[in-house]
Structure 1
Amino acid sequence: MNSQKGTSLTELLLVVVVVGVIIVLMANLPNAVGLITKSYHLSLVREIVAKQIEDKRTISFVNLVNGTSAIADSRFSLLPAGVGTVVVEDCSVQICTNGESLKKITVTVSWKESNKVQTASLDTFIGEGGINQ
């Protein structure tokens, strides 16, 4: 019987492919972790903004007072340097050309992501006799 020692070309090729795949995965890991964190922050911001709009829609139209208020939400502790504001103002004449009874609600949330300030803002209108009125 002929016993062979050493490795075959197929085994070497398989090892090179496996090592290459591991190197590619390791190189992309930091980027993937960053994308997961960014996605988590955006999801959290969407939840905060949606909750603020829902809260404003539960208030009757006559009780919506113009002004700016800070958002107090415990989830801001999960956002790096997270802050937010809600602005209530009368509908501008460019939009409400027929004198409709509308209030413009602007919810803005800011946080830091990779040493850059990120901002998400959403506008909606609440009208007399509209949703939940």
Structure 2
Amino acid sequence: MFPFGDPGWNVNIKSYDPNMMEVDEPIAVGQATKAEISIMQYYSSRLMLRPSVGIPANQQDSIHSFGKLFHEYVVDMYAKMEQQRLNFIRFNQKALRAEVYNGLSDVIYLDDNDMSAVGKRVILPSSSVGA
């Protein structure tokens, strides 16, 4: 599918302003630090069909023309997106106010000395789908 290699998505990919590409002025330091592109934005852009000018539609080489390999690619990239979402929830429990839920504080309050059932819990928010 990618004969010349493809680095894929990473956290350092920045968005750009296509209007700035037409200007011959140097880019200021403040303009170069745009927001990062999310993994979903990257792969949504990657999966778009883009017609090429001057090439008939039946002769265009697209990522969509790889059949089952394309399906496997889409499933793998979805799994990557879902893993990133779950990692965000896992590592940002304090920001998501997971301490509000019952857990270790209830165990301490009830004076339960059996600590075998107590561990690091990860609370999934109700907006989490499919986990």
Normalized against structure 2, the TM-score is what?
0.28
Instruction: Give 1 or 2: higher strand fraction.
Output: 1
